[in-house]
Amino acid sequence: MATLKDVANAAGVSVSTVSIALKHDPRVKETTKRKILEIVDQLGYRPNGIARDLKMKSTQTMAVLLHDLGGPFYSELVTGVQDVALAYDYSPIISCSIGGKGVALKRLLLENRVDGAIILDPYIEESFIRRVASPSLPIVLLDRDIDLPYVYRVTSDHEGGAYEVVSHLIEKGYQRIAFVGGPQRSFDNQLRFNGYKKAMESQGKAVDSRLIFAGDFTEKSGYALGLSLGGSDKLPDAIFAANDEMAIGLLRALSELGLKIPQDIALAGFDDIRLSQYTVPKLTSVHQPMYELGIVATQILFRALNGDSKIEPVVLSTQLMIRDST
Amino acid sequence: MATLKDVANAAGVSVSTVSIALKHDPRVKETTKRKILEIVDQLGYRPNGIARDLKMKSTQTMAVLLHDLGGPFYSELVTGVQDVALAYDYSPIISCSIGGKGVALKRLLLENRVDGAIILDPYIEESFIRRVASPSLPIVLLDRDIDLPYVYRVTSDHEGGAYEVVSHLIEKGYQRIAFVGGPQRSFDNQLRFNGYKKAMESQGKAVDSRLIFAGDFTEKSGYALGLSLGGSDKLPDAIFAANDEMAIGLLRALSELGLKIPQDIALAGFDDIRLSQYTVPKLTSVHQPMYELGIVATQILFRALNGDSKIEPVVLSTQLMIRDST
DNA sequence: ATGAAAGCGCTAACAA
DNA sequence: TTGTTAGCGCTTTCAT
C-alpha cells in the first residue's frame, strides 16, 4: 500500500507538498501538481483515512445504533439521517446491537471511532450511555426518557397518538375498549398506555383493569391473547393494541375464531407498519414520522457537535390512519 | 480526553507499562496494575481506537454495504454476518448507499477504514469495486456476477428457484404461464427469467414473447401491469412474477378486477417477503436463504482476509413455498 | 513554491 | 518488572 511518502519520493518532492497538492491547494505549482497526480495514479495511492482521523481528531462519522434492522421504520429513519448528514459531509454508519454482544458498540463509542451517535435501541443500558456521552461524543437518544449530560432526546408523540386513536374508538361509539400492551418496561408502551388512559378518563370512562392485557410486542403474543380473549364470555367491543405486530396477531386469532372485525370487535394498532395496509380488514393505526425523526435527530446531533448544549427534548406528532378495522 | 501518556504520568510509570497493563499482560506487577487501573478510572481514560488501528494496520471492522435498509431480508443477512464476525472478534458496520452519494463508500473502502466488505447493492459500480478490491481489502459480492481479483461471489440460486416454481405451475396444469420481470439489467432478474425459460422448455413449452412482461420490481409496476393484463382478452392462466412486490401489485390489480386467484389465474412470486404470508390468498413464492448467505459471505471474507485467494463462487439453494395463490 | 519537523495516541521490540 | 524508542501515515506550522 503506497503512502504519501512513497508518492513524495517518486515525485522527488516532500510529503507536505504532496499532502497539500492533493487538496488542490493553490500554493503548489501546476506542473508539480500534475506530476504528483500522475504518480498517485501510477502507484495506486489511496489516502489512509485512519492516519488522517488520528491527526485531525475527527472522523466525520456518526454512528446510528439500532437494535435490529427488521423493524419497518429503520429505513425511513436512516434516510432522514443521511439526508442531513450529507449536507455536513458526514457519513452515518449503522450498527445493530442484536447478537453482537456490544462489541461494535464499544469499538465505536468507547474508542472514539465516531464523533457522535444516534441511538434507537431500548436495550442499550443507561449506564453505558452515561459512560460514553461527553462533549466530544454527543448522543441523540430516540424514544427514551433519560436525562443525562450530552444526551439529547427526540421522540414521537406516543401518548398523543394513543390518545387520538382511543378517542377515535370512543367517538365511534365503542364502549368497552381494551388495551393490549407491550413489555411493561418499554418506555413507548408506557406512553401509549398513558394516552389510552387519558382518552378514557377524558370521556368519563374509568380504566377497567379487566380490560388491560400485556403482550410483548410480538405478533405471537397478540395471537395468544386473541385466542384467550375471543374465547372469553365478556368480549370487549374494541381493542387498542400498543403496536401493529400484536394487533395483527389479535386479528388473526379473532378471525380464526369467526369474529367479524370491526362488527363484532374493533381493532386498532400503533406504528403503521406496511403490513397493516394489507390485512383483512385493513388495520387502523398510528403513523410515526420516522423520516422526520431521523432529520431532527441528526440536526440536533450537529448542533451538539458545534458546541450547543442547551437543546430541549423534541416530540414529533404522529398521524392517525383510520382504516377498516375500526 | 485523557491519553495513555496522561495515565502513565499520573501513575508514575511509562506508557508502555500502561499499555501492556491494560491488556492484563502478566509481565506487570499486580500492585502497579491495580494502581494504573485506578488512575484509568479516575481520569476516565478511554483508549483511542483510531491510534490503535493506525499502529496495528487493522481495524477489526468489516463493511456491509446495502442499497437501502427497506428490503425485507437485510435483517436476516446482517444477523448471519454478525454471527460469524463475532467469532472472529470483528465488527460489521452497515452503510447504505441510497442518498449518500457514495461519500460513505469512499470513506470506508477507499480510505482503508475497514479490512473487508460484503456488498449487496446492484448500484455500486463495477469500476469502483475493481478499484478498491485488493489483497488488503477483499470483497464479497452478493447476487452479482463480476469476476475480479480479490472479489468473491455468493448468490442464491435464482435460476434454480425460478425453475422450481415454474415447474410447480406446470405440474398444476397451468398452460399459459406468463413471466413478469424486473429491470432488464438486474442480474437476479435475468437468472429468474432463465429459470422460467428452462422450466418451460423442459416441458416442451416454447417461450411465448406475448407472455413476457417487464416491470421494475416495485409493487406499483405490478399493479399497473395487472390492470392492463386483467383487462386484456387473452389472459394467461398463471403468472410468475420475478419478485413478491410485483406479485402483490398484480394480486391487488387482478382482485380489483374481480378475478379469482388461483381459479381464474394463478400467481407466484419470488423472495418470500413477510407480506406474502398475509395476502389473500397467501402468495406462493421462493424463499432465499438470507441468513445463510450472510454466514457464507462472512466466512469467505475471513478466508480471504487470511490469505486464501482460491475461493470458488458459491450458490445457495432456495426453497419453494407453496401457498394458496397457485 | 517547497521542505523540515513535530506530533496525533498507540504498540512492540529491545534495553535495562 | 519496567522504561526507551521508533514509527504507523498523515497534517500543519514555520522556515527557506
Are B259 and B302 part of one and the same domain? no
CA distance A94 to A52: 22
Amino acid at A71: G
- What are residue B154's DSSP bridge partners? B142, B314
Closest nucleotide to A14, Cα to C1': C3
CB contact under 8 A, A104 and B92: yes
CB A188 within 8 A of CB A144: no
**pLDDT tens digits, residue range B188-243?**
999 999 999 999 999 999 999 999 999 999 999 999 999 999 988 889 999 999 99
Which protein residue has its CA closest to C1' of C8?
A55
Are A21 and A112 part of one and the same domain? no
Q: Which of B84, B91, B98, B325 to mutate to test the interface with A (most CBs of A within 10 A)?
A: B91
Residue A305: the pLDDT is: 96
Residue A244: the pLDDT is: 97
Q: Chain A residue closest to B80 (CA)?
A: A99
Q: Taking a contact as any Cβ pair under 8 Å apart, which residues of chain A between 15 and 74 contact chain B?
A: 46-54, 59-61, 68-70, 74
Other Cβ atoms within 10 Å of B145 Cβ, number: 11
**pLDDT tens digits, residue range B40-70?**
999 999 999 999 999 999 999 999 999 988 7
CA distance B315 to B49: 37
For residue B295 the three cell numbers come to 454466514
Pairs across A and B, CB distance < 8 A: 132
The alpha-carbon gap from B90 to the nearest alpha carbon of chain A, in Å, equals: 8
Mean pLDDT of A312-323: 98
Q: Does residue B52 belong to any structural domain of this protein? A: no
Amino acid at A81: V
CA distance A223 to A217: 11
Q: Place B108 in a pLDDT band, splitting at 50, 70 and 90.
A: very high
Mean pLDDT of A34-48: 96
In three-state secondary structure terms, A292 is helix
Residue B69: the pLDDT is: 85
Are B168 and B281 part of one and the same domain? yes
pTM comes to: 0.93
Question: What is the separation of C-alpha A251 from the centre of its chain, rounded to a whole number of angstroms?
Answer: 26
Interface check for A258 against chain B (CB to CB < 8 A): the answer is no
Are B218 and B139 part of one and the same domain? no
Q: Give the domain CATH number at A25.
A: 1.10.260.40
CA distance B122 to B74: 14
Residue A100: the pLDDT is: 73
Flag whether pLDDT at B100 surpasses 80.
Answer: no
Mean pLDDT of A131-141: 96
Flag whether pLDDT at A309 surpasses 90.
Answer: no
Residue A233: the pLDDT is: 85
Q: Give the domain CATH number at B267.
A: 3.40.50.2300
Closest nucleotide to B11, Cα to C1': D2
C-alpha distances in Å from residue B92, one per residue of A321, B86, B128, B303:
37, 9, 21, 16
The alpha-carbon gap from A41 to the nearest alpha carbon of chain B, in Å, equals: 11
For residue B137 the three cell numbers come to 481489502
CB A256 within 8 A of CB A298: no
C-alpha distances in Å from residue B236, one per residue of A76, A254, B162:
37, 36, 18
Mean pLDDT of A134-147: 96
Distance B205 CA to C6 C1' (A): 77
Q: Does residue A203 belong to any structural domain of this protein? A: yes
CA-based nearest residue to B93, from A152, A78, A2, A52: A78
For residue A97 the three cell numbers come to 446491537
Residue A182: the pLDDT is: 97
CB contact under 8 A, B75 and A75: no
Nearest to B47 among A52, A60, A111 (CB): A111
Q: Chain B residue closest to A71 (CA)?
A: B75
Distance A180 CA to D11 C1' (A): 59
Q: Does residue A107 belong to any structural domain of this protein? A: yes
Are A134 and A163 part of one and the same domain? no
CB contact under 8 A, B69 and A49: no
Which phi-psi region, left, alpha or beta, contains residue B258 (left: φ > 0; alpha: ψ -120 to 50)? left
Are A276 and A175 part of one and the same domain? yes
The alpha-carbon gap from B37 to the nearest alpha carbon of chain A, in Å, equals: 16
Distance A51 CA to C7 C1' (A): 12
Are A300 and A281 part of one and the same domain? no
Other Cβ atoms within 10 Å of B307 Cβ, number: 8
CB contact under 8 A, B50 and A92: no
Are A124 and A190 part of one and the same domain? no
**pLDDT tens digits, residue range A249-287?**
999 999 999 999 999 999 999 999 989 999 999 999 999
In three-state secondary structure terms, A127 is helix
Residue B282: the pLDDT is: 97
CB contact under 8 A, A86 and B69: no
Residue B1: the pLDDT is: 86
Residue at a domain's end among B13, B28, B47: B47
Mean pLDDT of A47-65: 97
**pLDDT tens digits, residue range A19-30?**
999 999 999 999
C-alpha distances in Å from residue A88, one per residue of A91, A232, A279, B168:
9, 57, 41, 53
Residue-range definition of the domain harbouring residue B40 = 4-47
CA distance B118 to B133: 11
In three-state secondary structure terms, B213 is strand
Residue B99: the pLDDT is: 74
Q: Provide, as residue numbers in chain B, all residues whose Cβ is less than 8 Å from the Cβ of A41.
A: none
Residue A211: the pLDDT is: 96
Q: Place B73 in a pLDDT band, splitting at 50, 70 and 90.
A: confident
Flag whether pLDDT at B110 surpasses 90.
Answer: yes
Residue A97: the pLDDT is: 85
Interface check for B93 against chain A (CB to CB < 8 A): the answer is yes
Are A76 and A173 part of one and the same domain? no
Flag whether pLDDT at A69 surpasses 90.
Answer: no
Nearest to B112 among A50, A79, A136 (CB): A50
Q: Place A12 in a pLDDT band, splitting at 50, 70 and 90.
A: very high
Are B188 and B225 part of one and the same domain? yes
CB contact under 8 A, A83 and B99: yes
**pLDDT tens digits, residue range B127-163?**
999 999 999 999 999 999 999 999 999 999 999 999 9
Flag whether pLDDT at A96 surpasses 80.
Answer: yes
Q: Does residue A325 belong to any structural domain of this protein? A: no
The set of strand C positions with any atom below 7 Å of a protein CB reads 1-5, 7-13
Domain tally, chain A: 3
Interstrand relation of A266-268 and A238-241 (parallel, antiparallel or unpaired): parallel
Distance A4 CA to D6 C1' (A): 19
Distance B33 CA to D9 C1' (A): 32
Residue B158: the pLDDT is: 98
Are A182 and A219 part of one and the same domain? yes
Are A78 and A182 part of one and the same domain? no
Nearest to B94 among A93, A101, A103 (CB): A93
Residue B259: the pLDDT is: 96
- The separation between the first and the last C-alpha atoms of chain A, rounded to the nearest angstrom, is 64
Q: Does residue A52 belong to any structural domain of this protein? A: no
Q: Place A215 in a pLDDT band, splitting at 50, 70 and 90.
A: very high
Mean pLDDT of A122-131: 94
**Chain-wide mean pLDDT for chain A?**
95
Nucleic chain D: which protein residues 37-76 of B have CB below 7 A from it? 51, 54-55, 57
- Give the H/E segment covering residue B285: strand B285-287
Distance A7 CA to C5 C1' (A): 19
Residue A232: the pLDDT is: 87
CA-based nearest residue to A92, from B228, B59, B66, B190: B66
Question: CB of A52 under 7 A from strand D?
Answer: yes
